[in-house]
Every structure is written in structure tokens, then in C-alpha cells.
Structure 1
Amino acid sequence: MEKNLIDIIAQSGIVGAGGAGFPTHVKVNAKAEYVILNGAECEPLLRVDQQLMAVETKKILEGLKLIKETVGADKVVIALKDHYTAAINSFNGLIGEYEGFSLHLLENFYPAGDEQVTVYEVTGRIVPEGGIPLNVGVIVSNVETVLNIYNAYYEDQPVTDSYVTFAGEVKNHVTMKLPLGMTVGEALELAGGVTVDGPYVVINGGPMMGKHVPLDSKITKTTKGLIVLPESHPLIQDVKMDISKMLHIAKAACCHCSLCTEVCPRNLIGHRIAPHKTIRFASYGHLCDGSDTPMIAFLCSECRLCQYACVMNLQPWKVNHELKGIMAKQGIRNSLNNAPESAHPMREYKKYPIKKLIANLGLSKYNVAAPLTELPKEIDHVSIPCGQHIGAPAVPCVNVGDTVAKGDVIAKPAEGKLGACIHASISGTIKEIADGCIAIEK
């Protein structure tokens, strides 16, 4: 009996490992001309994707081949940065065996891994405002997602772990494969513990778009980095600044130079997002442009680059975030869907270098290697969240006292809802089902 890739992906609980966790079985249930592997590793300090591409090259190529055949694509493009030498060499040694496959080398700029930016870089096509890559015949997939597809199809392995880079104020800068459901605090101990004296903050994800999380939060399918910084670090203080305080500062400090818009990656591919207009709300209470609407805030990806182009360190992205929340509460949805015909004519000269960004963020001393490392000890307890993906949380299908093996299904998507299966990340006994989590102990 022929295997059905879409069913296998759904049963294996595979979601986008590098973003918000969109269920992959829905994404690949489509037809596309291009499949793009997003190997840019968008955020500074993270190392997962570049290392997996170098080490698991054959599996990733085979996973891409499966997607290509399923969606009927003509071309598979591996988009990765031109300084990922080990990964490039590994791919060059094997890619000739795969028809329609090619490499696309990206410059080291931020945010090269934004999927809409990646689509433009590779194909020259512009995803419409508020749209997705499929609108222009493209499916984009994260490196670990493709590796998970290979493991599910060929090795019957569902998603039970996530690769995570440890960076910042930790003893050991490493990348490890962690079982889902262990706490952030426990994970940091595996990296030798925190080295900073005094209060600190942990960022789940990258320094630009990651979330500040407590030590008891859980490792999930989308966790790609844990970055520890002193609470006094400017990056932490910037994110914590209250919107009202920022608007008060902007009212006095914004010189309306539009540098924020000059570097906005979505603006540079032709979208109407204009951070300098939304920051005008601080001074004038409106956009001062009758041809635009506050709805342009919906087009903001909140990459935060606008802040680091601003000579006054203002935060247009935070205004966009606030506006999106206000409009959502009023039931207002994005209706901007222009399909730009061309990108900004000077776009090539406005790409923001990663090294410059890292320096601006005050993170240069943390920009070091984080090699793949085995877990230093066996994990004997986890508490696995049922909501690790876009859509409704999965519904537990086990009971307290049940014995489960690693890889067993412990929660399934709610009937008729978008979701993904959840699997046991260790073998043991179900100890508790509470607060949206399923606890397992060896």
C-alpha cells in the first residue's frame, strides 16, 4: 500500500518548526511551482538550521523530494546564507542527484529568513499584502520541519523533540535536541546554567522577535533558541518599555525622517507598510496622509528593524502592534491585499547587515559558535503542552495512570479544528493532565 505523505505528516504532529507552528499537513496539501527550503536562519545568534543542513544533508534533500512530489513542484530551491560553508559544501556534494534542485545563496542581512523576503530573493515574485507564498506558487518550509518529514515518512518517528541553540549568558554555548515539555529552567541547566549575576531575562526564539518567557515555561515544537540576557540589557529594556511612555518620547523626539520606512523589509518589496506614518500618531494623532489608513499596521511583521534604523531608538513596530490589537478588538480585519508589481528600486542597497544589527543590539560578545551537543543526561519527567501550534489545542486521548512509550499519541486535534497531534517525548506514566499540559514521569 502506497504511503500518503499528507496523512503521515498529520499523524506525526509536524508543524512549522521555525515560526508560529502552522500545521504542515495543511500547508503541503496544495499545488505549487516552487518549494523553497528556508535555511537563512533569520535571527541573530541562532545556529540550529545551518548545523542541521551540514549534518543531516541527505535526509533534508530526501524530505524536500517528498514535498516536491506531493505538491507537484518543478523546482526545489535551498535558500541559505553564503557564509554557511559547511552546509553549502554538504549540499553541493549531493544535490546533483536530485532533478530540479538548486542552491540560492543569500547575503547576510536581516531579515533574510522572513518567508516573503525569501520568496522575492529566490523567485523575484512578490507575495501580495496580507498574503502567503502559495499566492505566488511557492511553498516555503523550515529546515527542521523538512527533517521531521523525512523522519516521519522513512523512520516512523513523530515529533517528540526540538533542536535549540543556547546563547547569551549561559556557561556553554551549544545546540541540543531537547524533549518537548521540559521547562526552560531545566534546559538552561543542561547548558551549564546561567552565568549572569543579578536579575536576568530568557528569550525564547531570537533576539529580535523572540518572547520573554519564565523559567517554568515549556520547550515546544517551535522553540529554536534560548537566549539569556541581564535584565538591564538595553534590548530587554527596549521591549519592556510601555507603549504610552514610548509614544510620549516619540512626541518630543521623532524628527519624521522616515529612516524606519527606508529599511522596512515589507515596504522594500512593495507593501504599503510605512512605519514613519504610524509613529505620527504620537505627534499628531493620525497618519497625516489621506491616502492611507491605520490598517497598514496589519502589514507589519514586527521584525523590529525600524527601531534600529531610528536615530532616536523609537519603536514604530510597537505602535503597529498596538494598532493591530485595537482593531482586532473592534472586529476589524485586514482588507489590504495589493499585489505589488515591483520592489523598491533601491532595495538592494537598503538591506540591513546582520553584523551591524548584532552590534547595535549589544550582542557581539555572544555571537559565537554553538556546536551540536548530545544531552548530558536522560530526562525523566516532562509536562507537554497541548497547544504548540496555530489552531485549537489538541485534546488529550490518554488518562492519568496510563503507561506510554516515547512517540505514542497523547493528544489529537479537536474535531473539525485546525491543529496537530501531540506525542509523548519520553516513556513513562501519565501523572497529570491539567492547565493544558500532559505530565509524564519515567
Structure 2
Amino acid sequence: MREQLIQKVKDAGVVGAGGAGFPTHVKISSNARSVIVNGAECEPLLRVDQQLMDIKAAKMVRGLETVMKATGASEGIIALKSKYKHAIASLEKEIAGKPIRINILGDFYPAGDEHLTVYEATGRLVPQGGIPLKVDCIVDNVETLINIAAAIEGKPVTDTYLTITGEVPHPLTLKLPVGTSVQEALKIAGQTSLDGMKVIEGGPMMGKIIENLNQPITKTTKGLIVLFLEHPLIQKRMLPLERIAKQARISCIQCRFCTDLCPRYLLGHHLEPHKIMRTIKHLQGQEETMKMAFACSECGVCEQYACIMGLSPRAVNSMLKKELSKLGIKPAEPPAHQTADTIQAHRKVPIKRLISRLGLKNYDVSAPLSEEEHLINQVEIKLRQHVGAPSQPIVKVGQQVQKGDLIAVIPEKALGANIHASISGVVKEISDSIVISLMEGSDK
């Protein structure tokens, strides 16, 4: 029974629907005591999970129960914010009499960080550099569980839900075929001209600026945020690393606010960003301090909320991780006796205040979920949109495919995920992506 469940999830190509996209069949092959639903959706402006938990509560709970069966978990925990009142009401009906409970989170950032979610929901501390499984937990997000429920019914992952917001005429949350271009997605929200604007994929805290608007959305795309080029968030994102490093050397006043508000430091991780900023002046002989950068989750609290000088410890940490890895330097061992700081509960970043600091108050608006199907003429489906090896194509140029057909498979003895056609059409190109175009005369 367990093997059949896992195989169906594998066949359907389910991966984590946010973040890095870890193949779900591998995750649920482990044993765990608790399965936690990460329903916090802590990134400002995004509206996907909170609406799915309301509208698709039954399906999400079925997915959660499937993971509990596969892992042998004795409890399911749905972690979500108190302000998601409609979702809470819908979920309470679905979990009645089941070994599943709701864990209410405050409206703070980064409530959706895996380590923080596990601590809030269970009181267990995931070791620095470790994964939730180290403390008998598995964490899945909302859309992943919905995809698991669909997989059990034999339906593969062909679409993804995302919020389109910011400087667009019609902010909305919608379902689109995997491989739809960013530009095509923005047109649906009414934004046809992007002169003087930039687009962030993901949330405003951890998302990245998109340089090519023809790039496709993937199974992990959860948001597109359009902002004017002059917006402070965009200006900061566009600073070159050399400038960031120079600012750090010149302007850091060692106030240690970045450390005192760092969510991972507050969970007992050996990470003190202010000390790393101090070493940036002398990139020699400070290896132990610089190695602390490996513990950084790059949540952005330090640069967008804590630093009074407008510096970017997050970018410095990211740079150091890459440089140290090139030199073959490994992360330090985690603390032997990791404990959360007693002040941790009082140093959470309020979302409303964060949105104000980011200059996004005007964009903190409803983005209602629409299930309307949109005609997409062409998709470019990346062969690597998940952790692990790129999938291997099993189709040829010129071949006709139907939506849901298997078009790429996991390489033998590799970590990866199956990929399916997201529209019906003809395979036009195969490279590091598979391009499918709508067949002439077709409207599906």
C-alpha cells in the first residue's frame, strides 16, 4: 500500500510547489512522527496558499492523509496564520475526528521558514544545516499536498497556481500551464507594457528579478510582482556585488541589529551576520567567521528590515557561500547544544510593518483566485525545474502530445522528477526545455 502511494506520486511528477522543488516521492519515502502543512505563506503580497486552503480544503486534507499513511506519521499539523479565517473555518470541518490539528501562527515574517515552522508547530529544533526529518517531521506546502491528492487519482502535475500583483491593472491568483511565459502570464493580469518596470519572481523578500520575460513559469513559481524601476526594492536588487561589498566595508557600524533579528540566530544557529560584515574588510584569515554564512537561509530580514544603514548582509552571505564552496570549504559543525534564544518569541517581524518598510503598502491588495482556464498557445517546459538531475525527454520533435502525457522521465539512479505535457499540441523543440505549440485549429 505504502509503495503504491509513493509510486503514484513519483509517476505524477510531484515536487515541492515552492522553494527549490524537492521531488516529493523521495521525501515521503521516509518515516516521520509528524507531517506539517506549511500554510503560512509568509512572503508579503502572495495569496496562493491561503485561498487554496479555503477553496480546496478537502483535497488538501486528502493529500495530508496520504503523506501520513506513506510516512507512518501519527499526527498531521496544519500551520497557518490566524488571519486566514476562511481557510481555518473550511479546514476545521475537514479535519473533524481525524488525527490532524491546526496550529495558529501570528502574522510575522518568516513564518514559513521550514525550521521556524517546525519549531512553532512542535517545539522541536531542526539542527543547523539539517532538515525537518532530523526531528521526525516532514513539511509540505499546500499546493504540493493538493497535487499529491490528484496524483492518487492518476492526475499528473501540469499546472501551477501563482499570484500576479504589484503594478498591474488586475491583481489576481490563477492556475496556468507549466511552461507559460512570464510575459503571457502578465497579460492575463492586464499588464501589456513593461517599459520602466521590472518583474520579481517569487516574493519581495526572497524573489529574484526576471531578466528575460520570455522565460517560462515552472512547478515552483508562486508569484510575479511588477514594480517600477525606481522602486527602492528593485534598486537594491540591482546593486552589483562589488558595490554591496564596498558599502559593507565602508558603512557597517556594527550595531548588530542584523544578528539580533536574524530568525536562524534566534533558533540557536551559529550565525552572527554583524561579525560576517566585519570580516568583509579582510577576506583572509577569518575563515571560521565567514563559514557562518552557510547557516544563512537568505530570508532577507537583515537587509530589508534590520539594517539601519541600508546594507545587505544577505547578499554578502550569499556571495561568501559561493566563494567558500569554490574553495572546497565546508560548513562548520552545528552547535552541540542548540537552543532557541529566550527572546525569540518577541523578535518576530510583523508583516504589516515589513510591508511598510518595503514600500509596498499600495500593493497589499486582494488577488482573488480564479479557476478560469486560459488559452496558452505555446509552453516551454524546463527539463530541470526541481532539485536533482534534469529529466530526460522521451518525445521527439514533431510528435503530437496530449495534456498530461509523460514527456520526460527521471534519469536512472538519479534524483529527479517526471515531467508531463501541460497543453495538447506538437513538440516543436527539445533542448534544455521541451517546447510544445498548440495544434492549428485546436482551442485546448
Give the TM-score taking structure 2 as reference length: 0.95
Matched, 1:386 2:412: no
| Residues 54-88 of structure 1 deviation map (CA, whole Å, 9 limit, x = unaligned) | 00011111111111111011110000001000000
1:34 maps to 34
Cα pair 1:109 1:351 within 8 Å, conserved: yes
2:151 maps to 152
The alpha-carbon distance between structure 1 residues 104 and 258, as it changes in their structure 2 partners (threshold 3 A), is: same
Secondary structure at 1:97's aligned position in 2? coil
Unaligned runs of 5+ in 1: none
The alpha-carbon distance between structure 1 residues 263 and 194, as it changes in their structure 2 partners (threshold 3 A), is: farther
For 2:238, the aligned partner's letter is: K
Unaligned runs of 5+ in 2: 440-444
| Residues 363-409 of structure 1 deviation map (CA, whole Å, 9 limit, x = unaligned) | 11100010011346422221111111011110100011111111000
Match of 1:423 among 405, 414, 420: 420
The alpha-carbon distance between structure 1 residues 376 and 72, as it changes in their structure 2 partners (threshold 3 A), is: closer
For 1:71, the aligned partner's letter is: T
Secondary structure at 2:96's aligned position in 1? helix
Q: Distance in 2 between matches of 1:338 and 1:157?
A: 44
Secondary structure at 2:183's aligned position in 1? helix
Q: Distance in 2 between matches of 1:2 and 1:286?
A: 52
Instruction: Return the offset for 1:434.
Output: 2.4
The alpha-carbon distance between structure 1 residues 194 and 267, as it changes in their structure 2 partners (threshold 3 A), is: farther
| Residues 308-366 of structure 1 deviation map (CA, whole Å, 9 limit, x = unaligned) | 21111111111111110101111222242335442011011111111111111101110
Match of 2:311 among 296, 311, 314: 314
Secondary structure at 2:370's aligned position in 1? coil
Cα pair 2:383 2:432 within 8 Å, conserved: no
Match of 1:235 among 233, 236, 241: 233
Secondary structure at 1:431's aligned position in 2? strand
Q: Distance in 1 between matches of 2:208 and 2:169?
A: 21
The alpha-carbon distance between structure 1 residues 195 and 340, as it changes in their structure 2 partners (threshold 3 A), is: farther
1:11 maps to 11
Q: Distance in 2 between matches of 1:332 and 1:19?
A: 25
Q: Distance in 1 between matches of 2:334 and 2:233?
A: 33
Match of 1:261 among 259, 262, 278: 259
Secondary structure at 1:141's aligned position in 2? strand
Matched, 1:326 2:309: no
Matched, 1:294 2:290: yes
Matched, 1:168 2:169: no
Instruction: Return the offset for 1:95.
Output: 1.3
Cα pair 2:269 2:338 within 8 Å, conserved: no
Secondary structure at 1:411's aligned position in 2? strand
1:303 maps to 299
Q: Distance in 2 between matches of 1:278 and 1:427?
A: 51
Instruction: Return the offset for 1:252.
Output: 2.8
Give the TM-score taking structure 1 as reference length: 0.95
Cα pair 2:2 2:70 within 8 Å, conserved: no
2:442 maps to none
2:185 maps to 187
Deviation above 6 Å: which 4+ runs of structure 1?
Answer: none
Cα pair 1:280 1:287 within 8 Å, conserved: no
Secondary structure at 1:260's aligned position in 2? helix
For 1:299, the aligned partner's letter is: A
% identical aligned pairs: 49
Cα pair 2:425 2:436 within 8 Å, conserved: no
1:362 maps to 359
Q: Distance in 1 between matches of 2:361 and 2:229?
A: 17
Matched, 1:397 2:394: yes
Secondary structure at 2:70's aligned position in 1? helix
RMSD of the alignment, in Å? 1.7
Write the mapping of 1:5-84 to structure 2, written as runs, cut at 5 A.
Answer: 5-84=5-84
| Residues 74-126 of structure 1 deviation map (CA, whole Å, 9 limit, x = unaligned) | 1100000010000001111221132x100000001100000100000011111
Instruction: Return the offset for 1:441.
Output: 2.6
For 1:190, the aligned partner's letter is: I
Q: Distance in 1 between matches of 2:157 and 2:339?
A: 40
Instruction: Return the offset for 1:195.
Output: 6.8
Q: Distance in 2 between matches of 1:2 and 1:24?
A: 14
Q: Distance in 2 between matches of 1:368 and 1:375?
A: 20
For 1:305, the aligned partner's letter is: V
The alpha-carbon distance between structure 1 residues 101 and 316, as it changes in their structure 2 partners (threshold 3 A), is: same
Q: Distance in 1 between matches of 2:265 and 2:198?
A: 32
Q: Distance in 2 between matches of 1:52 and 1:194?
A: 27
For 1:300, the aligned partner's letter is: C
